[in-house]
Amino acid sequence: MMSALDIIRARAGAEPVEAGIVLGSGLGPLADQVSGATSIPYHELEGFPQGGVSGHQSKLVIGMLGGRRVAVFSGREHYYENGNSAAMRPALEALVALGASTLILTNAAGSLRPEVGPTSIVVHSDYVNWSGRNPLIGEHGDARFVDMRDAYDPAIRARLAELSQKLKIPHHEGVYFWFCGPTFESPAEIRAMKILGADLVGMSTVPEVILARRLGLRVAALSMVTNLAAGFKGAEISHHDTKKVAAEGSAAMTRLITALLEGGL
Ligand code: HPA
């Protein structure tokens, strides 16, 4: 059987990619902007996510965006699907083997700041992993002791701040709290997270940040706020609304990421 990497190279060509982009719920439209695209369904790629969550497309798209050759992961596997926090490891290892040095992660998230409401884009400044899970558990050797200071590349964060201003997209940064799901949080959990320093809450991304840092990638992460978190006045929380609101905000996310690529990584 051909490895995922052999299949990707055979279909998309062997030229290196510069960056990977993981698309969260409702953010699939970014993949449609990739030109000269080769699209490969995950089910043809060994080790890639085989489940699927509605709002995710489950395909790898390789081609040009913002003048760079990119690999767009349209869909991810979440911890809550199979209890495997390292589920994205084979996909991220393939990305590194394709030559990428940068990973841009996106997701849909709840906001714990009422002034940062639905369709806001928030750049991650840090995260809280209070889950007791870590995708590197079971790994041996000293490389597992990964330094998580500046997990989100400071230079990319600075560029995202500048570009947001240029594109007139309101700029926010915040701390993302990983909640394993699949239930949404209880209001009491959200109150606790607020005390622990959270600005955003969501069910993904943090395991991928840890894996990517372990693999030596530079990382940026951006959330599309789809709702205020549980217990906030006016919070509308459902997976249906998550997909709908993220799709509404996806054009701004696509513009920002395209501009980031255009400026060079
Ligand atoms: N909580 C967790 N994950 C989410 C939320 C939320 O409120 N909104 C979108 N993804």
The pLDDT value recorded for residue 162 is 97
Give the number of domains in the chain: 1
Outline where DSSP puts E strands in the chain: 19-23, 35-41, 59-65, 68-74, 102-111, 121-129, 172-178, 200-202, 218-228
- Prediction pTM value: 0.96
| Confidence band, pLDDT 50/70/90 cuts, at residue 222 | very high
| Confidence band, pLDDT 50/70/90 cuts, at residue 144 | very high
The catalytic residues are 25, 56, 78, 80-81, 108, 203-204, 227, 240
pLDDT in tens, 88-103: 999 999 999 999 999 9
Percent of the chain with pLDDT over 90: 87
104 lines ligand 1 (CB under 6 A): no
Question: Helix, strand, or coil here: 194?
Answer: helix
249 lines ligand 1 (CB under 6 A): no
237 lines ligand 1 (CB under 6 A): yes
User: The CATH number of the domain where 203 resides is what?
Assistant: 3.40.50.1580
Question: Helix, strand, or coil here: 23?
Answer: strand
Domain extent for 136? 4-262
Mean pLDDT of 14-43: 94
The pLDDT value recorded for residue 116 is 97
Q: Which amino acid is at 206?
A: V
Going from the Cα of 229 to the center of ligand 1, the distance in angstroms, rounded, reads: 7
